[in-house]
Chain A
Amino acid sequence: MIHSRSACQRFLPRLCAATALLSVALAGTSRAADEPGNSSSAEVGATFTTVDSASNSNKSAAADFRITRALTSIFGASLSASAASADTQIDLPVDLPGKTVCSYEALSGTAALFARRPSLGRITASYSTAELESKCGASGFAGNSATLDSDGYALAAEYYLPELTLTARRTVTSFGEDSELVADIVSAAWYPITDLSVSASAGRVGGRMQYGFAIEHQPEILGELASVSLSFSTLDAQGDSVRTISLAFAYHFGARVDLKTRDRRYR
């Protein structure tokens, strides 16, 4: 599960293979693109996240890119990639100047295929691969470094109501041959206005309960080309608690549409 190889050595070949497969699919179906009811889009974003527990505090920044392509009026595909950097401070049983302990460099990529009817919902199957390279150390300390490889498979079903999107998602992330993380999350996103979504989620992540809350807004003053989102989740189990807060910005290329339309036709 833990490797000492560089992130690129394992991550890039897998992501490139997935990209190539999907590119072939996208190229072969180019004439079907932008069919009514299922549209292509691209977006770039930046996310700032803090993860806090009683023992540690992570602060990370990530940049991501996603492209979605309609293959037919129903089927579509997407590719996304993300690069993140995090610093973690961990409470140690000794005094440490600064307490800077671990840093992470993470690369991840996801390829997804979906079937969608904007008036009904979407079913998505995706494969993700990620590498998280960690280096721990502090002033006066020698630390270790390692790379954590993971592969993930997800199946998600979304159901579109007029002002509400209901989602159920199962994600299985495996680390090597004998360790995996299963997450089952259900969520509901409400669109009080077409450029604002407020969502709540609940589920189990590796046997621990997770609850989340998020809000995303696509202001008209930005020409409906950018959105900002804020999310919070807490992972609890037997009194343990890990809290995650994220602030994300996204810029959307192409069509100027409201957020609900973007979520249901373009993303």
Chain B
Amino acid sequence: MWQSMSDTRIAPILASCAVLLSACGGEAGDVTLPVVSLQRQSLAFSVTAPDDPTPAPQTFAGTFNVDAVYLGALTEGTAVERVSYSLAGKIATISVYPKSPAALGPGIHQSRVTVFGQVCADARCSQLASGPAQSIDVTYSIPQVIRQISPYVAQEQTAGSAIIRGAGFQRFTVTSVLFGNLPASSFSVTGDTQIQATYPPLAAGRYPVQLQVDGASLPVKSDAELVVVGWPAFVTASLPYPTVNTTVSKVLYDAERNAVLAVTTQGGGELLRFQHAGDSWGTAETLPINTLHDIALSADGRSLLAITDGSVVPIDANTLAPGSAWDAPVSSGTTLTSIAVDNDGNAIVTTTAANATTSPLYLFNPRTGAFDTPISLANAAAAASGDGTLTVIVQQDATGATTPSLYDFTTARGSLATTGLSGNRNAIAPALDRYATRLALNGAAVYSGSYVQLGTLPDTTLAVAFSPDGARSYAYDSGAAAVLVYDSASSPGSTSVLNLIDTLTDITGDPGSSPQIAVSAVGDAVFLAGLDTISVIPVAH
């Protein structure tokens, strides 16, 4: 009977089935599967600055009411880079990775991560069915930050300019720069990481540097202070070392603390500090540091960074208490030789190798302890300008067969580059003035900040330093046995010796063959470190 049915008789059956199926396709109940319960309802990421490393991912669990075969994760918003997960039956482990703070910039960034589970909808799992989605809110706070101001020391009742360094300055509109409660005389946001500001005459004290910003959702985090100090009254003095006949490799004036520091080879390495108070100097404070080669003040002045054979040692600039050293990744036979701090807070550390022509130059980040190695140089030495905008790196081919290039690092450029100058120039440490308008190389030639040679110094020069404004060069001359004062504001001709202005002879002790020289922050004293003493020589400025 059935075999005789025609197609036309089948139509009603098909139609009935279609109606039945469409009726079956109505709304389901309120509950579907699989339902996920998230361990966390929100996640918060934060960094202290836009140039901080990306925070580690945060992981939380999601629990399903049934075994899920697949987990979907959708991310809305700007804070999250990606979401990863692992799934084992009813348990999902979900990791949320934030974006790089440098990529996001300052502000409060938000995302929502939506998670849902899926199960097989048929026997062969050729179809999947999803459960309801659950969301977790992600907040990511990245503040604008002021790290330091360079130079961070100003003279009482003297207007000046400084460079404020930090991160995120161009994210929002900076409407005002404050020193304490006093606004800057003028300022200019010259980049996302720096502001050029002029401060008015200020009384002695400490002035937190702060920004007023339109549109920022977070307060600007500031670690910077402008330290305004009174005018020191230097008189001729001699600061004797605890042990005589000591070689000094660096002398440094700490303007905030009105102190002179010297790096000596005594006992394998020793740091000396002489504090000036009133009209007199205290006796030497000593800090033995094995294989000490060089020191520099950190950009914020809170610590000294000391260089030993293989490490950078932070030292509290107030107490001289050493901190935990950062070991440089030097190979055997290579030692650190010098350090120069830029106004971005990072340092350039040079090295020398006993058994190789070249050795690494490190870009060192004191905040993270990271050493980057962009280049290898030959017996390099580095020095920075007082405002930290320019660091020059000289080289010395030990064989004298080549004339290696002079490099520099500018914080405006943020990288190393050759300068167009070359030569073997590390016999005498390079010197720069406060604002990178003058530099002296190898104690032999004086250049402008754009590397135009302005003149020369006599061959008998053993050490050189500049007045803060670069107008005067103070050179210890072994022939004259005196500190000769040259006019470096003008050029007598690139190959001519600078014009001699004055001769300073108030030197005590034996300067030796490699004396070191420094100038006070306002240029009113020269400090000449010899074998036995540091001579304090007041100068007109």
Task: Report A's interface with B, CB cutoff 8 A.
Answer: 1-2, 49-56, 58, 60, 62, 82, 84, 86, 88, 90-94, 101-102, 104, 106, 108, 128, 130, 132, 134, 136-138, 140-144, 146, 148, 150, 152, 163, 169, 171, 173, 175, 178-179, 181, 183, 185, 191-196, 198, 203, 205-208, 210, 213, 215, 217, 219-221, 230, 232-235, 237-245
Contact = CB atoms under 8 A, between A and B. Distances in A.
B31 to A, nearest CB: 5
Given A93-B133, A171-B124, A238-B31, 7 more contacts: A51-B127, A90-B130, A91-B132, A152-B124, A181-B69, A205-B120, A217-B14
Contacts of A108: 124, 126
5 contacts: A55-B132, A82-B126, A94-B114, A152-B124, A245-B24
A205 B122 contact: yes
Contacts of A106: 126
Contact of A193 (B3, B25, B32, B76): B3
Nearest to B4: A193
A92 B127 contact: no
Contacts of B447: none
Contacts of A244: 121-122, 127
Contacts of B133: 55, 90-93
Interface in B75-134: 75-76, 80, 82-89, 112, 114, 116, 119-134
Contact of A52 (B2, B25, B72): B25
Contacts of B417: none
B126 A243 contact: no
B531 to A, nearest CB: 67
Contacts of B120: 173, 181, 205-206
A60 B27 CA distance: 19
Nearest to B86: A2
A239 B31 contact: yes
Given A101-B72, A101-B74, A205-B120, A93 B126 contact: no
A54 B30 CA distance: 7
A150 B489 CA distance: 81
Contact of B129 (A58, A141, A232, A239): A58
B245 to A, nearest CB: 69
Contacts of B13: 192, 196, 198, 215
Interface stretch (B15-23, B202-210, B383-391): B15-23
B33 interface: yes
B5 A58 contact: no
A91 B131 CA distance: 9
Contacts of B72: 90, 101-102, 134, 136, 143-144
Given A192-B13, A193-B5, A239-B29, A179 B74 contact: no
Contacts of B125: 130, 132, 148, 150, 152, 173, 175, 181
B132 to A, nearest CB: 5
B28 interface: yes
B237 interface: no
Contacts of B114: 92-94, 141
A196 B73 contact: no
Interface in B8-51: 10, 13-14, 17-18, 20-21, 24-25, 27-33
Contacts of A88: 128, 130
Contacts of B74: 92, 101, 136-138, 141-144
Contacts of A51: 121, 127-129
B497 to A, nearest CB: 67
A58 B112 CA distance: 24
A104 B76 contact: no
Among B21, B67, B71, find the residue whose CB has the most chain A CB atoms closer than 10 A: B21
B519 to A, nearest CB: 57
A207 B83 CA distance: 30
B2 A163 contact: yes
Contacts of B124: 108, 128, 130, 152, 171, 173, 183
A243 B67 CA distance: 19
A228 to B, nearest CB: 9
Going nearest first, the 5 A-B pairs with the smallest beta carbon separation are A183-B123, A241-B28, A56-B130, A54-B32, A242-B129
A173 B204 CA distance: 80
A243 B121 CA distance: 8
A239 B133 CA distance: 18
Contacts of A230: 14, 17-18, 21
B251 to A, nearest CB: 57
A54 B35 CA distance: 12
Contact of A58 (B10, B18, B73, B128): B128
A193 B5 CA distance: 7
Given A192-B13, A217-B14, A232-B21, A144 B89 contact: no
Contact of A148 (B30, B31, B69): B69
Given A146-B70, A171-B124, A173-B120, A219 B131 contact: no
A246 to B, nearest CB: 9
A140 B76 contact: yes
A171 B120 CA distance: 13
A220 B122 CA distance: 32
Contacts of A55: 32, 116, 130-133
B83 A53 contact: no
A38 B44 CA distance: 67
Given A93-B114, A173-B124, A206-B119, A194 B3 contact: yes
Nearest to A174: B125
B80 to A, nearest CB: 8
B244 to A, nearest CB: 70
A240 B126 contact: no
